Structure 1
Amino acid sequence: MAARPLTPLAAAREAAGYTQESLALVLKVERSTIGRWERGVQSPQPWQRPGLARALQVSLEELDDLLRRTGRGPSKTNSVAVLDPPQIAVERVASTPRTSDGRERELVAEVDVIHAAIPRLRRALDRLDLPDDGPIRTSADLYDEIARASDDRLQSRYGNLARRLPDLITELARAGQLGDSVDRRHAAAQLTLALRAADGVAFKFGYLDLSARLIDLMRSAAQLAEDPLLLAAVAYVRTETFFATGDLDTAARALEIAADHVPELDTASSLAAFGALHMRAAVVAGRANKADRAADHLREARSPARVVPEGVYRGTAFGPASLRIHELAVAVELRDPMGIERAAAWRPPENLPAERRSHYFIDLARAQLTLGRHEDAYLCLQAARQAAPEHTRAHLQVRQSLSALLRTHSSPSSGLLDLAAWARAC
């Protein structure tokens, strides 16, 4: 039997890390009472609401909104995700294709969990300098947790991140206030990577104001860590802010300054930082229709890519395969048929992070549309979905490509219609 979509209250409970049973224990009610609240058939009594709000880490006003939306029940068509709506609304579509393992329905439910977790993430950032008292794991354990969060971001497991990051960020804020200067620098470095993982959720799901705030906090944390390669990674991510505002000249200048400040290119990490900044700058130049500048940046990135193995360096994937993906992105931005043809003859290896692979197929779909190859564009979007469904479903360019495909087909196939419904493009 298919799982019922989560109601807003249930999504907030999952985002706070509770099962129905554990929340019932905290509030001293029956589990069935929690179930009735979450189905909207009964509301908490006034004296129960403060405790429920504290458990879910929401304000009473936000709890009232959750209960109001839950009382309406899940929509039978489309429903806008709850809490703190982003600039780009992400909707839940009831016509999600059936699958044997229910993966698609799980993905739909994850969207609710992500949106319900955003207020908790905002509050964790609000109190970075005033974290609650609580336990702090060993440095080794925190390192493992950061590695897990970075992997979830690169593999587009955004629901996992949304559940864990608020508490992890608070714990790292505590760690940053203890120990000697070395310990504090280490905690700042870990915090930088945790904030980057949070930005992976915020930016993908349209919370652009939150993304900009996270990037500013990343820069401050990286400066406290006194790690120039972390600062280079932040400059790479900061390009998102300029893409959102269309300020491509400033984006290019920021990336070039950051590349100039990468320390001696005598380690794989420093070479990777230098190369990643130039391949990002190449995309910026391509978007600005500056073909010569884009070619210069790609040339700078190719040199380190020849000697640095494909891998993740300070949270950024770099290597020969990552460079190939950026070469395609540049060709698409420049509408360069020869560059597109060269890039289209290659396929990303399966061991590349899922987000990177889906980026390739999303860009390749745009390229195929440019060349008038509509069936190939559709197949590329299906490949992107298979590689990283959470990333693909949240990507604005996927909806744009699908909308273009729908406009060019007087009688679209059932497969195209299903894909467009899944991606909320129709």
Structure 2
Amino acid sequence: MPSPSTREVGQRIATIRRARRMTQAEVARSAFVSLATVKAIERGARSPSDDTLDSIAAALSVDPSHIVTGSTRTVSRVHAAIPAISSAISAYDIAADTAPRPLPELGAAVGQLVQWRLGAQYARIAEQAPHLLGDALAALHHTTGVNRLRAAQLLAVTARSADAVAYKFGARDLSARLVELMRWAAQQTDDHIAQATAAYVRTETFFAARAHTQGLTALEQAIDASPSPLDRTATAARGALHMRAAVIAARASDADAASLHLDEAHRLGDAVPEDAYDGTQFGPDTVRAHEVSVAVSLGQEHLQQALDVAHVWTPPTDMPAERQSGFWIELARAQVWAGHPDDAFESLKVARFIAPQHTREHPWARETAATVRRLKRADAGSLTAFSDWIGAI
């Protein structure tokens, strides 16, 4: 697919800027570039360099791939960073002779990493994760008492963000190591919420291995070990585990277990506002999104349930971008199976608009695009371009 023209790039920047209700001057200040540069780029008179594009994307809180959607820059940058992430955790249980970074400063940097994960900004995570993993490990090994517990929490959160990149980009061995690091760090904290989060993320390894029955067992054990839902955080932690258990039960073709866990997730979700705790976002909207995932995972006989949910509800715009796009990808899968390829293509386009790189790396999005193209061979234009972009040709 040809690269977008300079004018198209400028138009996308202007569109995103207006959606963020930012002026050109505000973008220039946040991106540390001149106002003249922003104006020239937006009107198509100047093509941004890689560094300028990164800076403007950061100012707009999007991944560069959201601006240059036909580019492979994010993919190449992520894969270039994978060895450094692997190296950073190669001796995680051995203290290195490195002075620890002040915990407040480290906490702020890790918090930014989490925001990038929620926004599906994978290139930025990949480039910062090696340094932050090293900093968090140094803090864990060289602090004591309450500070050590805090360092362990930060390490677990950092490992999760790095894992989001490794898993999405197919580095499954590295992903498994990062999940184990997250579990190890969570065990250092004596924090049941952190341990519940680690159990939630560990499910990725069962998905990757198609070990769905074993994954369901592991999640049910984690639910039993999780704190009673006596406050908002504990309720969200347990609810998220039930939500995850419903999906993996569906993948195991265990409709009864999927229904049981989904019902419990709904009950707990209705007890808390849509919010984020230290592990994953949970609330009524998140459970609804997973209801579609459960229906699609159960197969043809349950497709109508997915379509019914989508008929009355779509993800709110303040839901994390990765989760929003995941909903539209799952819905597209249901729509193409139900014989609605045009609707499926529209859903894929929405997913791409919300989180381009997440959509591009999602195997179900690629598979659905290939199916739609096979069914709609006469519609060559935008469908062919989309299929080329996602790698379905």
Task: Note the C-alpha offset of 1:216.
Answer: 1.0
**Structure 1 partner of 2:325:** 358
**Structure 2 partner of 1:215:** 179
Contact 2:106 2:135 in 1 (8 A): no
**Structure 1 partner of 2:244:** 280
Provide the C-alpha distance between the structure 2 equivalents of 1:168 and 1:131, rounded to a whole number of angstroms. 15
User: SS state of the match for residue 350, structure 1?
Assistant: coil
Task: Note the C-alpha offset of 1:133.
Answer: 4.4
Contact 2:307 2:335 in 1 (8 A): no
Provide the C-alpha distance between the structure 2 equivalents of 1:191 and 1:121, rounded to a whole number of angstroms. 13
**Structure 2 partner of 1:266:** 230
**Structure 1 partner of 2:152:** 188
TM-score, normalised via structure 2 length: 0.80
Give 1:238's match in structure 2, choosing from 202, 214, 217.
202
Task: Note the C-alpha offset of 1:137.
Answer: 3.1
Give 1:422's match in structure 2, choosing from 378, 389, 392.
389
Amino acid at match of 2:122: Y
Task: Note the C-alpha offset of 1:2.
Answer: 5.2
Provide the C-alpha distance between the structure 2 equivalents of 1:115 and 1:2, rounded to a whole number of angstroms. 26
Provide the C-alpha distance between the structure 2 equivalents of 1:382 and 1:186, rounded to a whole number of angstroms. 41
RMSD: 1.8
User: SS state of the match for residue 176, structure 1?
Assistant: helix
Q: How far does the alpha carbon of each residue in 1:268-316 deviate from its partner, in whole angstroms, 9 at most, with x for none?
A: 1110111111111111111122222111001111111112111221231
Amino acid at match of 1:388: A
User: SS state of the match for residue 250, structure 1?
Assistant: helix
1:30-45 equivalence runs, <5 A: none
**Structure 2 partner of 1:253:** 217
Amino acid at match of 1:313: Y
Runs of 4+ in structure 1 deviating by more than 4 angstroms, as ranges, are 130-135
Provide the C-alpha distance between the structure 2 equivalents of 1:341 and 1:348, rounded to a whole number of angstroms. 14
What is the count of residue pairs matched by the alignment?
Answer: 329
Name stretches of at least 5 consecutive residues in structure 1 with no aligned partner.
4-98
Q: How far does the alpha carbon of each residue in 1:170-203 deviate from its partner, in whole angstroms, 9 at most, with x for none?
A: 0111111222222112111110000000100000
Bigger share in helix: 2
Contact 2:270 2:284 in 1 (8 A): yes
1:228 aligned onto 2:195: no
Provide the C-alpha distance between the structure 1 equivalents of 2:140 and 2:240, rounded to a whole number of angstroms. 29
**Structure 1 partner of 2:270:** 306
**Structure 2 partner of 1:156:** 120
Contact 2:307 2:331 in 1 (8 A): no
Contact 1:286 1:333 in 2 (8 A): yes
1:6-405 equivalence runs, <5 A: 102-105=67-70, 107-130=71-94, 133-334=97-298, 335=300, 336-345=302-311, 346-405=313-372
Task: Note the C-alpha offset of 1:244.
Answer: 1.1
Q: How far does the alpha carbon of each residue in 1:236-292 deviate from its partner, in whole angstroms, 9 at most, with x for none?
A: 111111111111111100111101111121111110111111111111111122222
User: SS state of the match for residue 314, structure 1?
Assistant: coil
Amino acid at match of 2:351: A
Aligned residues: percent identity? 40
User: SS state of the match for residue 104, structure 1?
Assistant: coil
Contact 1:259 1:274 in 2 (8 A): yes
Provide the C-alpha distance between the structure 1 equivalents of 2:212 and 2:382, rounded to a whole number of angstroms. 37
Contact 2:232 2:272 in 1 (8 A): yes
Moved more, 197-206 or 312-321: 312-321
Amino acid at match of 1:114: V
Moved more, 158-167 or 283-292: 283-292
Provide the C-alpha distance between the structure 2 equivalents of 1:157 and 1:248, rounded to a whole number of angstroms. 29
Task: Note the C-alpha offset of 1:102.
Answer: 4.7
Amino acid at match of 2:68: R
